[in-house]
Amino acid sequence: DAGVTQSPTHLIKTRGQQVTLRCSPKSGHDTVSWYQQALGQGPQFIFQYYEEEERQRGNFPDRFSGHQFPNYSSELNVNALLLGDSALYLCASSLDRGHGYTFGSGTRLTVV
Amino acid sequence: KQEVTQIPAALSVPEGENLVLNCSFTDSAIYNLQWFRQDPGKGLTSLLLIQSSQREQTSGRLNASLDKSSGRSTLYIAASQPGDSATYLCAVDTGNQFYFGTGTSLTVIP
């Protein structure tokens, strides 16, 4: 049983460009959350998707947007990339609320 | 707003030693608390999940406790091994999101 799958593993983009990161949740999970982890910091919550709707959002600008598909997979889009967006982006899936989260291996985004 | 603090930030111990990592949180209205391990540049591996109604959970050499009323959790690692070297993160689930601490970086010296 595959856990959470994220793609791509690594990505290098130029400032001002747009990027799309993808996540396939663990089988049986219906909720997907995205986190940004800067070097040496704990992960910071970006948003959570449930039933194809954004259920909760953290303190991130509108440049960060997402989508959840009917098969529960999800995308994270970041527009107008800044150098400060360089980070490890983690996707986590769960079965609705309160059942614990399973994390993927992350996508390392570098903005130059 | 929920705030999670982990102490110490870094810890270095000789192999075989028992150790305790601490996590505190400011708002006791949580669904659960989860401990994770993170190797450099990698994703998070779940170690233990403690529901808000539980006091502790055990898995092998790991034991985690939760005192929701005082906003504290501890992760106890018995007979530490060099392979335990990693960053350990605790996170509290408020129902819609996780709040993470900044982690404890553990080094076990052979």
Taking the alpha carbons at both ends of chain B, their separation in whole angstroms is: 41
Mean pLDDT for A31-42 is: 94
Q: Flag whether residue A105 sits within 8 Å of chain B, measured between CB atoms.
A: yes
Tokens of A19: 């990027």
Distance from CA of A101 to the nearest CA of B (A): 8
> In this complex, how many residue pairs, one in chain A and one in chain B, have their CB atoms less than 8 Å apart?
65
Per this entry, what is the length of chain B?
110
pLDDT given for residue B1 in this prediction: 84
CB atoms closer than 10 angstroms to residue B46: 17
Does residue B21 contact residue B77 with C-beta atoms inside 8 Å? yes
Distance from CA of A98 to the nearest CA of B (A): 5
Mean pLDDT rounded to a whole number for chain B: 95
Question: CB distance B93–A97 less than 8 Å?
Answer: yes
Q: What's A71's DSSP letter?
A: T
Q: Chain B residues with CB inside 8 Å of A42's CB?
A: 4, 89, 91, 100-103
Confidence of residue A109 (pLDDT cuts 50, 70, 90): very high
Picking from A48, A40, A62, A57, the residue whose alpha carbon sits closest to that of residue A97 is A48
Given a cut of 60, is residue A24 above it in pLDDT? yes
Given a cut of 70, is residue B42 above it in pLDDT? yes
Question: CB distance B96–A55 less than 8 Å?
Answer: yes
pLDDT given for residue A99 in this prediction: 81
Given a cut of 70, is residue A1 above it in pLDDT? no
Q: Which residues contact A4 (CB under 8 A, 6 or more apart)?
A: A23, A24, A25, A26, A91, A92, A93, A102, A103, A104
Confidence of residue A74 (pLDDT cuts 50, 70, 90): very high
Q: Residues A40-69, buried b or exposed e (16+ Cβ, 10 A)?
A: eebbbbbbbbbeeeebeebebeeebbbebe
With CA atoms as reference, the chain B residue closest to A6 would be B43
Q: Flag whether residue A42 sits within 8 Å of chain B, measured between CB atoms.
A: yes
Q: Flag whether residue A106 sits within 8 Å of chain B, measured between CB atoms.
A: yes
Per the DSSP assignment, residues forming a β-bridge with B67 are B72
> CA-CA distance, B77 to A74, in Å (whole number)?
35
What amino acid occupies position A4? V
Given a cut of 90, is residue A40 above it in pLDDT? no
Residue A58 or residue A98, greater confidence: A58
pLDDT given for residue B98 in this prediction: 87
Q: Flag whether residue A79 sits within 8 Å of chain B, measured between CB atoms.
A: no
Distance from CA of B73 to the nearest CA of A (A): 16
Scanning chain B, the segments in alpha helix (DSSP H) are none
> CA-CA distance, B31 to B95, in Å (whole number)?
6
Nearest Cβ partner for A100 among B32, B96, B99: B32
Disruptive mutation site among B37, B98, B104 for chain A (greatest number of A CBs within 10 Å): B98
